[in-house]
Chain A
Amino acid sequence: MRSLKWIKYAFLYLMVLAFVLPMLFTFISSFKNNNEIFSAPFSLPKIWRFENWQIAWSSAGMSRYLLNSFGLAIGSVALILIVASMVAYEISRFNFRINKPLLSFFLMGMMIPMHAIIVPISWIIGNLDLKNNIGALMLLYIAFAMPFTTAVLANFMRAIPVEIEEAAVLDGASKFAIYRRVILPMSGPALSTVAIFNFLSVWNDVMFPLLFINDPSMKTVALGLLNFSGEHGTDYGPMMAAISITISVPFILYIFFQERIENGIAAGAIKG
């Protein structure tokens, strides 16, 4: 039994090494100059060059990109929640004949890989003169979030007992009032789960900003990082600092929302 325990921990720590080493290399390198990164990748820097982080943060614009990404992701998520919860309410709480086909119509979107339709999407955005338009990006993210979000919310709302609505109905509340005052507050757990997943998928996406944002002041983190590697590609220290900044956000999110994220994935959430 004791040897088994030993093997167990050896295995777990070996896997930790496989996951941590590349991240550790990036983090340590972010304090080095090019020469040190190349000669001894895993040794600690002789001089800690904090200016690399300074360069990544300010002159390379990572701070700006972080703000942009936050704004875009939070705005998109807010709109996604409003738009999807309203249609999910209609689909889940009423028995119109159209509801089943409507839900299937949304579910169909899960099968569509974004890259299969980027050509027409870029044609539409170009024709409507919506380049460098944050609102247009949000509309795209709403469209692509609908299948997953509507499905999860409708599923959750369906399980809310109808008696809960009765007091509001007796008060003569309208359907919108019932949605806002009764159903929405009760859907908290489902709303927060889809909020986190949609936040991550907007945060991580590079395709739409790459195609539709060329104004440097509007770049997102993923796009900024991509361009950084093109422009300062040989300035490895600051590059590593920029990567470290980018991957620290998911770490922080995970630490705060561990339970929600894990339950969401376990419930069959689609990868962002």
Chain B
Amino acid sequence: MEETAASKPLKPNPRRRSHALLTTRDKVQLVAMSSPAIVIYTAFLVIPIFIALYFSFHSWNGIKGAPLEYVGWQNFARAFASPLFQTSMKNLALMVTVSVLFHTPIALVLAAVLNTKVRGKRFFKMIYFVPTIFPLIATGLLWYFIFMPTGALNTTLTNLGLGSWARGWLVDSGTAMPTIIFVNIWAGIGYYMIILLAGLKNIPEDVYEAARIDGASAVQIFFRVTVPIMRPTILLCLVLDIIGTIKVFDLVFVMTGGGPNGLTNLPTTLVYYEAFRYDNYGLGSAVGVILLVLAMTLTLLTQYVPKWIARKRVKTHA
């Protein structure tokens, strides 16, 4: 008994001290220390959200001093009726779907292989991972010169006698979006690999040992042991991928500029082009607000739905 009483105060408990003990000086200091963050964050991130809402209900050409005219839901109606916006949403849906289908599975296989005894592990990890921290402008340009009509890919195809396969990858309406999605996948695999690799390190070696003694093959171990244990981490990757893909801008911006004919726009690039190229600030803001609502909805859904499912499962099992 004495022992527990003596060891009690040693327990780390930073909240033990109540702020009733704070002097006025302390309180003044704490307010002064907190305010820069609150003020800057509010001024440049929170207030813009409300201004975006305000703009989206007004018509405005972006010129300083020009009058803003209240137009109700007109900007939103125009956005939803616009083929450009519809295309950008379809492109986003396609990009999210295809990215999710490729990023995590490829990353998981890479991580699983790298988690075994591999010579030169550091080298492999570096090669797969570093492209994910390139500026996306550089990644996009790098691939642009490969995919452009006279680029490396078409030349190589022609040199290999496959000239009939050569095409304007980023110019053809059929291949432009898939090409951008491919580059997005290329530029992301390493990131998910690192997350998955960290998860794999937490699986104790005896789990694999047991499976091996039972006569499981490497492929069986991957699907029957690794994948089920890694389920939470895999889910995290999928969530990060969905949220990350909504924010893709640079790749489209630098590789196609949204073209041909706006066919490769995403909502992000559409906001930029409508507002800053065509001076449709109201429409640009409306698309921005739709993007905002979409991002918030998806984030909240991906945060709470897995928890809700887990809770439900526990209840039915109990």
Q: Show the binding face of A for B, using Cβ within 8 Å.
A: 4, 8, 11-12, 15-16, 18-20, 22-23, 25-26, 29, 37-42, 82-84, 86-87, 89-96, 102, 106, 109-124, 126-127, 139-140, 142-144, 146, 150, 158-163, 174-176, 179, 200, 203-204, 206-207, 211, 221-222, 225-226, 229, 236, 239-240, 243, 246-247, 250-251, 253-255, 258, 261-263, 265-266, 268, 270-272
Minimal beta-carbon separation of A84 from chain B (angstroms): 6
Contact assessment for B37 and A84 in the assembled complex, using a CB-CB cutoff below 8 Å: yes
B210 at the interface (CB under 8 A from A): no
Interface of A is mostly: helix
For A119, A162, A207, the residue with the greatest tally of chain B CB atoms inside 10 Å of its CB is A119
B215 at the interface (CB under 8 A from A): no
Minimal beta-carbon separation of B16 from chain A (angstroms): 6
Contact assessment for B133 and A83 in the assembled complex, using a CB-CB cutoff below 8 Å: no
B29 at the interface (CB under 8 A from A): yes
Q: Which of B33, B41, B291 makes the CB contact (< 8 A) with A115?
A: B291
Nearest A residue to B53 via CB reads: A120
A124–B156 CA distance with the chains assembled, in angstroms: 49
Contact assessment for A117 and B12 in the assembled complex, using a CB-CB cutoff below 8 Å: no
Contact assessment for A161 and B12 in the assembled complex, using a CB-CB cutoff below 8 Å: yes
Q: Which 3 A-B pairs have the closest CB atoms?
A: A266-B198, A161-B12, A120-B51
Nearest B residue to A11 via CB reads: B113
A225–B137 CA distance with the chains assembled, in angstroms: 8
Q: Which of B79-87, B166-174, B269-277, B304-312 contacts A (4 or more CB under 8 A)?
A: B269-277
Also in contact, A271 and B240, with CB within 8 A (given A121-B48, A204-B135) = yes
Q: Which residues of A contact B275 (CB under 8 A)?
A: 118-119, 122
Contact assessment for B16 and A162 in the assembled complex, using a CB-CB cutoff below 8 Å: yes
Indicate with 1 or 0, residue by residue over B14-40, a CB within 8 angstroms of chain A CB atoms.
111111001001100110011011101
Contact assessment for A87 and B45 in the assembled complex, using a CB-CB cutoff below 8 Å: no
Contact assessment for B134 and A247 in the assembled complex, using a CB-CB cutoff below 8 Å: yes
Please report the total number of B residues contacting A with Cβ < 8 Å. 101
Q: Which residues of A contact B76 (CB under 8 A)?
A: none
Contact assessment for B10 and A163 in the assembled complex, using a CB-CB cutoff below 8 Å: yes
A146–B48 CA distance with the chains assembled, in angstroms: 15
A120–B240 CA distance with the chains assembled, in angstroms: 26
Contact assessment for A19 and B128 in the assembled complex, using a CB-CB cutoff below 8 Å: yes
